[in-house]
């Protein structure tokens, strides 16, 4: 059995399908719970706010957007470093022969992911510095509402 092909198919085909399926299942469960609550409210004779049917989520604040970008940057950088290290370790064993080892591909992919992660980190720090006043104003506005 060709394990390389099996692992590649698992990562490139099965994993994305599983992620999409789980995401859709979570959304469906949220919708079903919301509908169940609405049905119980209707049975009890309560008035229903139409806004609850939409299930509107509040928009992300600037700080939350920046923190999300920081999370993506850290994950991408860590995966890039891991691929680089694995590629380098593998290359020592196979002396960089493409026919025997995927080490150069791992080093290349790790370098690309590391570069993307570093650029996202740079965007985070620049954005944090540039949007400091807006973030402070937004936080102050939120505390005044509560």
Compare 88 and 110 and report the one with higher pLDDT. Answer: 110
Asked if 79 and 141 touch (Cβ cutoff 8 Å), the reply is: no
pLDDT at 28: 93
pLDDT at 11: 82
Answer yes or no: is pLDDT of 99 > 60: no
- Highest mean predicted confidence (pLDDT) among 32-36, 46-50, 57-61, 104-108: 32-36
78, 82, 85, 87: CA torsion to nearest 10: -130
Q: Domain segments of the chain: what residues?
A: 1-57, 58-146
Answer yes or no: is pLDDT of 54 > 80: no
Distance (Å, rounded) from C-alpha 135 to C-alpha 138?
5
Residue 13 DSSP class: I
For residue 137, give Cα distances in angstroms to 11, 69, 115, 127. 44, 20, 33, 15
Tally helices (H) and strands (E) across the chain. Answer: 6, 0
Residue from 138, 135, 118 nearest 127 by CA: 135
């Amino acid at each position: 059995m060709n394990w390389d092909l099996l692992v590649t198919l698992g990562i490139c085909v099965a994993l994305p399908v599983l992620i999409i399926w789980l995401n859709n299942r979570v959304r469906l469960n949220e919708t079903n719970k919301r509908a169940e609550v609405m049905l119980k409210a209707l049975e009890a004779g309560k008035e229903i706010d139409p806004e609850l049917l939409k299930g509107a989520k509040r928009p992300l604040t600037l700080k939350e957007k920046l923190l999300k970008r920081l999370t993506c940057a850290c994950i991408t950088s860590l995966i890039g470093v891991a691929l680089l290290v694995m590629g380098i370790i593998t290359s020592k064993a196979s002396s960089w022969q493409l026919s025997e080892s995927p080490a150069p591909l791992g080093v290349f992919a790790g370098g690309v992911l590391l570069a993307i992660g570093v650029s996202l980190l740079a965007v985070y720090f620049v954005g944090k510095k540039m949007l400091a006043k807006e973030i402070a104003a937004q936080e102050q506005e939120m505390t005044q509402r509560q």
